[in-house]
């Protein structure tokens, strides 16, 4: 058997009904691929060694029929064809209502649930202040909400697969800083705050993380406060470059690159304030003033 032969893994996903799935696979803490499929069996080309595979339902997080995410692993050898069978089962459902301090429903508040495997899923309440998160794994889930500077205490919920749990959340004025939900632990992440040279916030700025060869590893945007958190799957190393482009509020796009950024699995690298300075603009070419058009006299016609 030659050592240059490709190594494959056939992933067989058994699930009730028919639904689209998302397949992600990684090795050594680094994401290798991301694919969407509607088939029962999918062939993945993988490197030699241990490979972790994650299967998730493509339906929305507020779809009550959404199945729980499942993970598996396989150890491959050069030139071998391995097979991994994954069963997707109905997940737990956490639903409830978010209220303001005056007991009125908190419309369109952001609800975040921290799962036992370290992932975070988010949704928003509807016009009645109600929300629903489906396809969750069983176990202890922490649920919290925030809206316009108000935050709720994270409420622990014991999620059971195939069952619906109710969690009532009340928004109150924050007495202490809101607890930060743990990021995904598959890789590193980068956070920071984008401002211009005058200290003004640059909302919706585009943030890209590139490797030493210039390949874009991840991309995201800053929020209305200029804060960003991108990554969650960045490889370990110290040669990353974070490129920041000013958002749509500026007529001319300004850029800033931060080089030599390090990342390690399960760690968030804080860049602090990223100052995007205005780039020097070339002088506009000189234009001669237009000569006013001379008046024209049309010949009169006598009738």
pLDDT tens-digit series, residues 142-164: 889 988 888 888 888 888 887 77
Q: Is the pTM of this model over 0.85?
A: no
Angstrom distances, CA of residue 302 to CA of 122, 235, 296, 298 = 82, 89, 19, 13
Sequence-ordered list of residues with C-beta below 8 angstroms from that of 264, at least 6 positions apart, any chain:
188, 236
**17-56 pLDDT, tens digit each:** 888 999 999 888 888 899 999 999 999 999 899 999 999 9
């Amino acid at each position: 058997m030659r050592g240059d032969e490709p190594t494959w893994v056939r992933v067989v996903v058994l699930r009730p009904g028919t639904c689209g799935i998302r397949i992600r696979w990684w090795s050594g803490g680094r994401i290798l691929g991301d694919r969407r499929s509607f088939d029962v069996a999918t062939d993945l080309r993988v490197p030699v060694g241990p490979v972790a595979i994650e299967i998730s339902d493509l339906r929305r997080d507020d779809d009550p029929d959404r199945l729980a995410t499942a993970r598996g692993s396989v150890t491959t050898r050069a030139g071998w064809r391995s097979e991994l069978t994954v069963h997707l089962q109905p997940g737990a459902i956490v639903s409830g209502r978010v209220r303001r301090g005056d007991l009125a429903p908190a419309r369109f508040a952001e609800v975040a649930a921290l799962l036992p495997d370290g992932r975070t899923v988010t949704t928003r309440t509807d016009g009645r202040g109600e929300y629903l998160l489906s396809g969750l794994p069983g176990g202890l889930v922490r649920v919290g909400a925030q809206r316009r500077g108000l935050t709720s205490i994270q409420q622990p919920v014991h999620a059971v697969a195939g069952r619906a749990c109710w969690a009532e959340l009340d928004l109150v004025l924050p007495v202490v800083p809101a607890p930060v939900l743990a990021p995904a632990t598959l890789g590193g992440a980068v956070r920071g705050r984008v401002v211009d040279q005058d200290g003004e916030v640059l909302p919706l700025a585009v943030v890209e993380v590139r490797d030493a060869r210039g390949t874009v590893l991840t991309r995201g945007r800053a929020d209305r406060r200029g804060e960003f958190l991108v990554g969650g799957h960045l490889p370990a190393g110290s040669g990353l470059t974070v490129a920041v482009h000013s958002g749509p509020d500026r007529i001319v796009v300004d850029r800033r690159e931060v080089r030599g950024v390090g990342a390690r699995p399960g760690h968030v690298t804080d860049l602090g304030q990223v100052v995007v300075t205005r780039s020097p603009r070339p002088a506009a070419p000189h234009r001669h003033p237009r000569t006013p058009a001379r008046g024209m006299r049309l010949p009169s016609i006598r009738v």
